[in-house]
Structure 1
Amino acid sequence: MAHGGQGLARMAVVVRAGAAPLWWCGVFAAGIGVLIPGLTGRRIGVLAGAVLFLVAVVVVAARRRKRYAALVRAAARAGKQDVLQDRAVTVRNWRRGHSWWLLLAFAAALGSSFVLPAAGGMLLAGAGVGLWLKAGRLGRIEQAGQELIWVRVDWLGPRAGAPAGKPVKAVRTTGPAAGDAAPGGARRR
């Protein structure tokens, strides 16, 4: 890395990195959970899971919305010495850093099926959908401003939380052609 440069990861990619693992962990946990009769019965478990799914989608998609907007408004332009991280590297780093949390969430969702069948899995799946919606919102912000939003890599990590958590002091922007991910964090076609 050049002197004074920073490693930068796309904010939308970091948000989107957790969506697929949460979705699939939730789907598998709910599928297995339906097979367990549970204390409340399958019908009540699935209905409670549907409510939890919707609540998780809304809460995760709306969480820290003002913080993201404030960071984007105050964004500075990335310098020539800054190093832009590839999408695949960002996703791999996020998933490695959060693999234990994903495993624990999957185990908790399966364990909750003994009380409310499928409810825990549907909650996890809802969190994954909420992250997809949040990444999509970031993509629309990027398209409207014709610039991509980046966050410093050293401010990210399993303990730092979201890419708009307390350790993140500011974000940087580049032109829309930078990086290898489309607006919203998806693979560029």
Structure 2
Amino acid sequence: MGRGGQSLARVAVVVRAGALPLWWLGVVAAGVGFLIPGLTGRRIGGYAGAALFLVCAAVVALVRRRRYTGWADAASKAGKFDILQDRAVTLRNWRRAHRWWLLGAFLVAGVFSFVLPIAGGLVLAGAGAGLWLKSLWLGGRERRDDVLLWVRTDWAGAGRPVGKKVKGYRTTGIAAGDAGPGGARRRR
């Protein structure tokens, strides 16, 4: 990285990276839970799982919004020599860093199905839906401000765009990078 340039990852892509794996692992775990009658039965497990899905999605979507907003308001412009990380690289890095957590969460949801069928999987799916909603919220903010939010990859670490190491965000124009506002793949 010559002349003081930094490697930058999109904030919305980092947030969105966990949405798809959590959603599909949750759906699969809920399907496995449907096959197991459990201690409470499928009906109670399904109702409890639906309620937990909504609660988990809302909590994940709303948690730490103030920190995201604060860093976005104080963001500085990206430098000429900063390197913008591709969306695919950011997704791959997040998923590699969290693969054991994802596997552990899937196993816990599967074991939880013996007590309350379907519910554990729907909690995982709710977390994935919450991350997706948070990335949509970030995308709306990016469209409104007409900028894309970036965080240094060494600060974001293993997928924490508002973690303790983060000291600020950088911004670029709306056309920079290969991901649109909200972290979705840019349509050509």
TM-score bucket of the superposed structures, by smaller chain: over 0.9
Are 1:150 and 1:171, in contact at CA under 8 Å, matched by a contact in 2?
yes
Distance between the aligned counterparts of 2:29 and 2:173, measured in 1? Answer: 41
For 1:172, the equivalent position in structure 2 comes to: 170
Segments of structure 1 that go 5 or more residues without pairing to the other structure are none
Distance between the aligned counterparts of 1:177 and 1:61, measured in 2? Answer: 26
Distance between the aligned counterparts of 1:147 and 1:132, measured in 2? Answer: 20
Note the C-alpha offset of 1:162. 2.6
For 2:58, the equivalent position in structure 1 comes to: 58
Note the C-alpha offset of 1:163. 0.8
Residue 8 (structure 2) pairs with residue 30 (structure 1) = no
Distance between the aligned counterparts of 1:111 and 1:40, measured in 2? Answer: 14
- TM-score of the two chains, using structure 2 as the length reference: 0.98
Distance between the aligned counterparts of 2:153 and 2:34, measured in 1? Answer: 40
Distance between the aligned counterparts of 1:172 and 1:180, measured in 2? Answer: 16
Are 1:2 and 1:82, in contact at CA under 8 Å, matched by a contact in 2?
no
Distance between the aligned counterparts of 1:162 and 1:48, measured in 2? Answer: 30
Note the C-alpha offset of 1:106. 0.4
Distance between the aligned counterparts of 1:75 and 1:89, measured in 2? Answer: 23
Are 2:156 and 2:162, in contact at CA under 8 Å, matched by a contact in 1?
no
Note the C-alpha offset of 1:101. 0.4
Report the count of equivalent residues: 187
Are 2:148 and 2:172, in contact at CA under 8 Å, matched by a contact in 1?
yes
Distance between the aligned counterparts of 2:156 and 2:46, measured in 1? Answer: 35
Q: Root-mean-square deviation (CA), in Å?
A: 0.8
Note the C-alpha offset of 1:157. 2.8
Distance between the aligned counterparts of 1:123 and 1:87, measured in 2? Answer: 27
Segments of structure 2 that go 5 or more residues without pairing to the other structure are none
For 1:49, the equivalent position in structure 2 comes to: 49
Kindly provide the amino acid, as one letter, of the partner of residue 171 in structure 1: Y
Could you tell which deviates more after superposition, 78-87 or 162-171? 162-171
Are 1:37 and 1:117, in contact at CA under 8 Å, matched by a contact in 2?
yes
